[in-house]
Amino acid sequence: MIHVLVTAKDGQLGQCFQSLAVKHPNIQFVFKSSSDLDITNTANIEDALKDHTFDYCINCAAYTAVDKAEEAIELVDKVNHIGAKLLAESCKKFNVTLIHVSTDFVFDGKATVPYLEDDITNPLGVYGKTKLAGEQAISNVLENYFIIRTSWLYSEYGNNFLKTMLRLSKERNEIGVVGDQVGSPTYARDLADMILRLIESKNTSYGVYHYSNKGVVSWYDFAKEIFKLSDSSITLNKIETKDYPTPAVRPKYSVLHTERISKLLDLKIPNWKVSLTQAISNL
């Protein structure tokens, strides 16, 4: 039996792990909410870890409100950077392998080909900078860790682009969506499934990996497909980033190179359209 602790069980990724747990009878899960387990509190983390002999800790806890992050710098750093560091220190103490979820926002989006794991990082905003600081803290503290960077995460759970578009399609007749930022939408359930495969493989090729669904689209293309699959009659207009100013600067190009994880797990990653169809069907 493999023993796994999952943080932030109420977030969209945490809920995806809960929905998949029944398919993995060889894994014994303990799910903790952010109120049960505060990753910014060492005593809290150690209390959670000492109750069981965990093999893995999957950290889904993060401050992900990109625009609000620009104003809440201290809080964002506390969760994304200090929390990751404290979790890594406790995992080291209890000999637990840490699987930490990170983001495409560690890059500046100036590339024209998919980002490799070893490419130079250069985050544009507070969210990306604190997530990168968390990555660096983990790699400085631990040897047995997997950092999984992902992009444009959505699912049936929590707040995300898919659910926002579906809500707006009921509230409005017309909407404008940015067409000059491109990336790869990632179904959180696919990401969770990959992480569970990684755990079951008991692989020890530790380090940084990229995972997103296959295919490259703009936010406009993503929205267009959501409305098509949900039979929405809303009028969709393509706008530019400059037409929709936000407190945080977004990377224009957020495509991650995923071959490293594919080779490691002999994994065929689904195309984003296939996964989006499944997510909308589940909703």
* H-helix segments, the chain: 12-20, 42-50, 66-69, 73-77, 83-93, 126-141, 161-171, 188-201, 219-229, 259-265, 272-282
Q: Is 157 a catalytic residue?
A: no
Closest by Cα among 253, 255, 219 to 237: 219
Active-site pick, 56, 127, 145, 154: 127
- CA–CA dist 54, 102 (Å, integer): 22
Closest by Cα among 152, 267, 149 to 209: 149
Three-state SS for 191? Answer: helix
For residue 57, what are the CA distances in angstroms to 2, 22, 41, 233?
Answer: 11, 18, 16, 43
- Reading across the β-sheet that carries 56-59, which strands appear in turn? 27-31, 2-6, 56-59, 97-103, 145-150, 207-210
Q: How many CA atoms lie within 13 A of 227 on its CB side?
A: 22
Q: How many CA atoms lie within 13 A of 105 on its CB side?
A: 26
Contacts of 56 (CB under 8 A, 6+ apart): 2, 3, 4, 5, 96, 97, 98, 99, 199
Three-state SS for 10? Answer: coil
Kindly list the catalytic residues. 127
